[in-house]
Structure 1
Amino acid sequence: MVANTSKARHYDADDLVAVNTLRALSVDMSYAANSGHPGAPMGMAPLFHVLFSKMKLNPDTDKDWVNRDRFVLSNGHACALLYSVLHLLGYKITLDDLKAFRQLDSNTPGHPENTHTPGVEVTTGPLGQGFANAVGLAIAQAHLGATYNRAGFDLFNHKTFVVFGDGCAMEGVASEAASLAGHLRLENLIALYDDNHICIDGDTDSTFTEDVLKRFEAYGWHTEHVPDGDTNLGAIDAAIERALAVRGKPTVIKVTTTIGYGSSLQGTAACHGSPLKMDDLKQFRQKFGIPEEPFTVPSKVYKAYQEYALRGKNAESQWQESFTAYEAKYPELHQELSRRLSGGLPQGWEDKLPVYKPGDSAIASRDLSAKVLAALQASLPEMLSGSADLTSSNKTIWKGAVDFQPPGHVAVGSYQGRYLRWGDEEHAMGAAMNGLAAYGANLIPVGGTFLNFVAYAAGAVRLSALSQLRVIWIATHDSIALGEDGPTHQPIEALAHYRAMPNLHVWRPADGNECSAAYYVALKSSKTPSILALSRQGLPQLQGSSIEVASRGGYVCYGGQVGEQRDITLVSTGSEVATCIEAAAILEKSHQLKVSVVSMPCQEVFDAQPEEYRLSVLPAGAPVMSVEAASTRGWEKYSQEQFGIDEFGASAPCDALFKKFDITPSGVASRALETVFFYQGTQNLRSPLQKALQKTRP
């Protein structure tokens, strides 16, 4: 349904000056950098000018005002245009920043980064990711509005706008996310499609000829088309106004533009990723009456954008007045929301974490995870859980959880619900969770799939880490122990892959206390995502474990008092820790060896501990052997010898697979004995942690 609207405004010659100024700034930036993508900004400048003249933004508070409109540039290569707009609006981006585009330590990197540039909501670059981020942002607003809005208090009523191009439309992650947004009827989401028919390889006729609007219509979106987006500002404005009035579905506006509009190469791939040549730059300036001096901004353009920013500042002031009045009428909701807006977790939440003692029954770590979620859900209203169509396997839901579903939908639920049914869309789930985490209000997305299938979302995981977003993955079926599904489902290289990624915590807990510790650290790590690799089979509760020691990432769980001489240390994770303890008992009884077993549920957290502690866990003087039913890559950092699986798995029952790969107590014991014999007599054997180059950079 589209309501009547009459808010479209008149555009005049001053607006054309502003549009051409945006074009010129973008061209100047790429020319100065001798790098960049001027073509898309030259075509999209009218779209940006119209859109940002209508948005609610306050440059003074940047991301502090939770009800600001959100903007995502999914085709992030066009960021010169975004930086130009943010500069004009008064964000902390100076002309000198524009002149330093793409240079070392500049405020204007080659693609938008949320931790780097004021006004940038999410880190985009890989095409399609930003589109899915925007879906996450829209989910966040819908959920918070349903949770906290009351009659007369629309605390959350903003819109999320995303601009995407042909490349984003081609990427599968955008298709997954668009399908989900249509199902969820996210009327607060407006996507603007830069339809310029050009990709890096040339005209899209060579590869991409589908009717994009029909696709979105099939997804359940309202669609609009502006065929003359190079010049018709009024038509762009009217289409946005119609989108703002749409109820019950998201909107996509196809704006047909000419890449490199005004260049002698316009309409071709030649102006996609290369700066204009000097002669082309001169004719471009003459064509639009742009001053020859680069980075020139007419005062009337600054004045216009200052007025747009002032409107946003006034909107925030009105919101703050409303929030103050909200406190008087809804004090408990106000207190909770204020706490969430400050970024703090509720006092005492960690006291709810389950604690286990030796002798408690063996429990699969995926079930241990479910117990943590159930224990914490009432204390942490900011935690949203979900699964990629594997709820019964991932154990990501708690009793009484309400689905996040659109009002009036056949599925039971509401926008106030905290359980997300992502469907078989791991990539969209990961990217949308990034949007949820980036939104603010302390939202903490938790999403489940098999560890092997996190690979579908590897690009989104990488952006979580780069963006410093607290996203938590429940990655079950963590080893060959999933059995008969075979090597297509059995993760071998996954742990090594994600452990190699900066600013990512990879947890593989060995018992209940370690699982609670994984959640404790993950929830406290507000700028670091986490992957919790969880077992399908039961794990015994360990003698030496506790939430406190496991929270250090690694600890001695069996044998080897501090300072006591050892013959060998076995270091392991997950289900193999118990196997190592059994192997230690064999070595002690049959060969009178002194064996210590170290559980290392999270290498990254262990690495952050003081050196003295780390060397007490993995001391010098005796060899260390790692044991993990996965790739041995990376374990050389902690051990002289590595025992694992450096080939794909096989299809068979769990026990048969562990026997096949000899990851059994006797198999571990025999290899440990070989290791002891090999290093026997070695003088001054260093700990594997003792390296000449502990860090390559400060």
Structure 2
Amino acid sequence: MKRKGNKGKMGKIEESCVNALRILSADQVEKAQSGHPGMPLGSAPAVYELWAKHMRHNPKNPEWVNRDRFVLSAGHGSALLYSLLHLFGYGLTIDDLKNFRQDGSLTPGHPEYGHTMGVEATTGPLGAGMAMAVGMAIAEAHLGAIFNKPQFPIVDHYTYVLGGDGCLMEGISSEAFSLAGTLGLSKLIVLYDSNSITIEGSTNLAFTEDVCKRMEAFGFQTITIEDGTNLDQISQALIAAKAEKDKPSFIKINTEIGYGCPPKQGTPSVHGAPLGAENIKILRQTLGWADFEAFKIPAAVYQHYQDITQIKVKEEEAWAEMFQSYKKLYPEAAKQWEVYHQKGNAKSLLHDEQFWACENKPDATRNISGRCINYLKDIFPNLIGGSADLGSSNKSVMKDSGDFSAIEYKGRNLHFGVRELAMAGIGNGILLHGGLRAYVATFFVFSDYIKPMARLAAIMQLPLIYILTHDSIGVGEDGATHEPIEQLAMLRAMPNFTVFRPADAAETVAGWYCAMNSEKTPFALVLTRQNLPQYAGSGKKALAGAYIIDQTDQKKLDGILIASGSEVALAVAAKKELAKENIAVNVVSMPSMELFEQQSLEYKESVLPAHIRSRVAIEAGSDFGWGKYVGLDGAVITMHEFGASAPANILFEKYGFMVENVTETMKKVLGK
């Protein structure tokens, strides 16, 4: 280990501290007989130098609001992060490290936010951490612009993200970094572990670009560390990155995968498999690790990490003292700070008559959603969001709220450009940072692009709001490429994810109420482009996910029509026609299967009585998932192919979404 002018005791202890990270990482993988030792062995010097000398964090209070954020985008290297958290005193014990990748442990195979203290984001899909880091940097910049005062930089921290060749190959990183450069997010610092190895072999097989030139084109300052084992080079690079005030920084660190284990070093075999007992022995010998007992760390190493921790504690103490003075000098700003950071403050909307007020005229649910956003923005000043270049179509723009840009970070309207995947990842990062509520928006069919990051939001229990408009074949002339079919089923199939497809204005308001009150579940509002009628029976009942929107005489009840969104109108019209033939049906509006499933058995029975087996579900999407509600005796009127290019009314008729088909289907189910 090299550090200029530091050849004495400190140099030796630092070398031991770096090697402790390597040894612990290798031991975790070896004991589990599963994991990725290569990246931790190569990146240990960089993360040690960052965490020990440059990153502001307090292991005694891992949720300190002004801490620097560190995201391990290369989540397969989790053993390195767990070793850091153990040695810096974040609460992970040696026993936790010994339980690496075991059921119920605090050290799962990839880092999991909310599960392990000190883990800032759930990472695994390569590149995802890069986008989430950009979101964190956006949140820091916005909150700083809102709250910082002269001599009082209460929001003043960096976001560091470490990734490798795989993260840079994934398209999400390019999407996110292109936007980060455009926005001039100077407190974003990317560490690139460049070891030129992937699972299949040398990166030359598929990745020969000059990454630094790409990052320069995005608007980043680029720095190269030629020797990834040289602590002084690493330190100087981090100093230079923090000195840049107009651009984000990209630090390429030349490393060797599996460093310290000559039989494996620099080869693909060290990426994702245990070293093996003999190679573990060689690793210890090469690193000069005298004690060959697994998971054994010298007392001097622990003491050095503890000494560093004491310095970190003082950094938060200094900030806390500054914040107390800030509260005295700027009491109104301090009150606003509390508003931004409190949770569960949206329930008052339930009794807000103005929020629930709706005009009795046909309108598109995307328009109603836009009105909701512009009502909510004045109640929730920490609401921030935007669209993937579709703000005017998604009706997702907050009026008179400014645009977030490199010139003005106070703006609340985010412009993501045509980057749906990165947008969803950035939205996750904003929520992970804290202090803000966020929404993102695009056409519903492009939920295919956001799905991987929506899945991570669900895993992390982040209540990111998705505004997904143009929800069906009602898009019409744009044709099959823009008409969602299977997307409702796709999102509904995801655990801990709520889909809400409203039928009118009042249901749309109910959807926004649920979205704003969701604390641990991502929420998708699936909205129409075309106008829909309003219903006297809709409104707060929709909070239950499904309810009887048009009821017949229960004593004469023959069957049930179930629909969501625009197809509710079709069900209501069909009910009237069936009544002419003395067939009595209820119409159930089901905007959200997920919310309905959360209701009591008694409530669900009141909406869908078990003895009424004649049921027809109507939805302009895939039939997947409707079987549980219509049963073996029921039927569905849904889409069984992709759409076509034609006016919406032509398409609805073409695919059977017309009153005559609904009535005939119900009669067939009834055996009439």
On whether the aligned pair clears a TM of 0.5, the verdict is yes
Counterpart CA distance in 2 for 1:353 and 1:301 is 62
Report the 3-state secondary structure (helix = DSSP H, G, I; strand = E; otherwise coil) of the residue aligned with 1:292. coil
Counterpart CA distance in 2 for 1:560 and 1:313 is 67
Contact 2:486 2:622 (8 Å CA) reproduced: yes
Report the 3-state secondary structure (helix = DSSP H, G, I; strand = E; otherwise coil) of the residue aligned with 2:467. strand
Contact 1:365 1:539 (8 Å CA) reproduced: yes
1:316-335 equivalences in 2 (<5 Å): 316-335=316-335
Moved more, 281-290 or 92-101: 281-290
Contact 1:196 1:259 (8 Å CA) reproduced: yes
Matched, 1:201 2:200: yes
1:130-279 equivalences in 2 (<5 Å): 130-229=129-228, 231-263=229-261, 264-279=263-278
Report the 3-state secondary structure (helix = DSSP H, G, I; strand = E; otherwise coil) of the residue aligned with 1:638. helix
Report the 3-state secondary structure (helix = DSSP H, G, I; strand = E; otherwise coil) of the residue aligned with 2:40. helix
Q: Which amino acid aligns with 1:556?
A: I
604, 608, 617: which one pairs with 2:607?
Answer: 617
Per the alignment, do residues 391 and 592 of structure 1 end up closer, same or farther by CA in structure 2, a change over 3 Å counting? same
Deviation readout 1:452-480 (Å, 9 max, x if unpaired): 10111211010000010011110000000
Return the offset for 1:513: 1.1
Equivalent residue, structure 2, for 1:410: none
1:416-435 equivalences in 2 (<5 Å): 416-435=410-429
Equivalent residue, structure 2, for 1:105: 104
Counterpart CA distance in 2 for 1:285 and 1:399 is 62
Counterpart CA distance in 1 for 2:100 and 2:58 is 23
651, 658, 662: which one pairs with 1:657?
Answer: 651
Report the 3-state secondary structure (helix = DSSP H, G, I; strand = E; otherwise coil) of the residue aligned with 2:396. coil
Per the alignment, do residues 487 and 347 of structure 1 end up closer, same or farther by CA in structure 2, a change over 3 Å counting? closer
Per the alignment, do residues 293 and 352 of structure 1 end up closer, same or farther by CA in structure 2, a change over 3 Å counting? farther
Equivalent residue, structure 2, for 1:415: 409
Deviation readout 1:317-357 (Å, 9 max, x if unpaired): 22222222222222122112123323242684552763356
655, 662, 667: which one pairs with 1:668?
Answer: 662
Counterpart CA distance in 2 for 1:296 and 1:636 is 56
Contact 1:565 1:621 (8 Å CA) reproduced: no
Counterpart CA distance in 2 for 1:25 and 1:177 is 33
The percent identity for this pair of structures is 46
Unmatched 5+ stretches in structure 2: none
Matched, 1:314 2:307: no
TM-score (norm. length: structure 1): 0.93
Q: Which amino acid aligns with 1:475?
A: L
Deviation readout 1:420-471 (Å, 9 max, x if unpaired): 0000000000000000011111x11111100010111211010000010011
585, 597, 603: which one pairs with 1:607?
Answer: 597
The two structures, once aligned, show a CA RMSD in angstroms of 1.5
Moved more, 366-375 or 52-61: 52-61
Unmatched 5+ stretches in structure 1: 1-6, 408-413, 679-698
Deviation readout 1:626-672 (Å, 9 max, x if unpaired): 11000000011111322100211111110000010110122211111
Return the offset for 1:314: 1.4
Counterpart CA distance in 1 for 2:266 and 2:462 is 38
Return the offset for 1:304: 1.9
1:184-583 equivalences in 2 (<5 Å): 184-229=183-228, 231-263=229-261, 264-290=263-289, 291-345=291-345, 348-350=348-350, 351=352, 354-356=355-357, 360-407=360-407, 414-441=408-435, 443-546=436-539, 548-560=540-552, 564-583=555-574
Q: Which amino acid aligns with 2:308?
A: Y
Return the offset for 1:306: 1.7
Moved more, 496-505 or 292-301: 292-301
Q: Which amino acid aligns with 2:668?
A: E
Q: Which amino acid aligns with 1:446?
A: Y
Per the alignment, do residues 404 and 353 of structure 1 end up closer, same or farther by CA in structure 2, a change over 3 Å counting? farther
Deviation readout 1:509-535 (Å, 9 max, x if unpaired): 001111111111111111110111100
Q: Which amino acid aligns with 2:544?
A: R
Contact 1:353 1:375 (8 Å CA) reproduced: no
Counterpart CA distance in 2 for 1:308 and 1:669 is 74
Counterpart CA distance in 1 for 2:555 and 2:512 is 32
Counterpart CA distance in 2 for 1:58 and 1:86 is 11
Contact 2:398 2:412 (8 Å CA) reproduced: no
Moved more, 85-94 or 304-313: 304-313
Counterpart CA distance in 2 for 1:252 and 1:657 is 50
Deviation readout 1:160-187 (Å, 9 max, x if unpaired): 0000100000000000000000000000
Per the alignment, do residues 450 and 243 of structure 1 end up closer, same or farther by CA in structure 2, a change over 3 Å counting? same
Deviation readout 1:172-216 (Å, 9 max, x if unpaired): 000000000000000010000000000111100111000000000
1:616-635 equivalences in 2 (<5 Å): 616-622=606-612, 623-635=614-626
Counterpart CA distance in 2 for 1:226 and 1:298 is 30
Contact 1:346 1:379 (8 Å CA) reproduced: no
Q: Which amino acid aligns with 1:571?
A: I
Equivalent residue, structure 1, for 2:588: 598
Contact 1:26 1:38 (8 Å CA) reproduced: yes
Equivalent residue, structure 2, for 1:95: 94
Counterpart CA distance in 2 for 1:85 and 1:675 is 63
Counterpart CA distance in 2 for 1:84 and 1:342 is 33
Return the offset for 1:490: 0.4
Contact 2:346 2:517 (8 Å CA) reproduced: no
Counterpart CA distance in 1 for 2:146 and 2:5 is 32
Report the 3-state secondary structure (helix = DSSP H, G, I; strand = E; otherwise coil) of the residue aligned with 1:538. coil
Counterpart CA distance in 1 for 2:464 and 2:569 is 29
TM-score (norm. length: structure 2): 0.96
Counterpart CA distance in 2 for 1:138 and 1:671 is 54
Contact 1:43 1:261 (8 Å CA) reproduced: yes
Per the alignment, do residues 555 and 8 of structure 1 end up closer, same or farther by CA in structure 2, a change over 3 Å counting? farther
Per the alignment, do residues 353 and 487 of structure 1 end up closer, same or farther by CA in structure 2, a change over 3 Å counting? farther
Deviation readout 1:565-620 (Å, 9 max, x if unpaired): 5111011100000110000000001x111110000111101100111001100112
Q: Which amino acid aligns with 1:152?
A: Q
Report the 3-state secondary structure (helix = DSSP H, G, I; strand = E; otherwise coil) of the residue aligned with 1:399. coil
Return the offset for 1:381: 1.1
Counterpart CA distance in 1 for 2:105 and 2:552 is 51
Deviation readout 1:216-251 (Å, 9 max, x if unpaired): 00100000000110x211100110011111110000
Moved more, 132-141 or 262-271: 262-271
Aligned length: 659
Contact 1:374 1:398 (8 Å CA) reproduced: yes
Counterpart CA distance in 2 for 1:346 and 1:306 is 42
Matched, 1:588 2:579: yes
Return the offset for 1:9: 8.5
Counterpart CA distance in 2 for 1:527 and 1:587 is 42
Per the alignment, do residues 243 and 329 of structure 1 end up closer, same or farther by CA in structure 2, a change over 3 Å counting? same
Counterpart CA distance in 1 for 2:510 and 2:5 is 54
Report the 3-state secondary structure (helix = DSSP H, G, I; strand = E; otherwise coil) of the residue aligned with 1:470. coil
Per the alignment, do residues 346 and 544 of structure 1 end up closer, same or farther by CA in structure 2, a change over 3 Å counting? closer
Contact 2:403 2:412 (8 Å CA) reproduced: yes
Deviation readout 1:530-584 (Å, 9 max, x if unpaired): 11110000111112111x21111111000146x6451110111000001100000
Counterpart CA distance in 2 for 1:8 and 1:327 is 44
Per the alignment, do residues 522 and 9 of structure 1 end up closer, same or farther by CA in structure 2, a change over 3 Å counting? farther
Runs of 4+ in 1 over 6 A off after TM superposition: 7-11
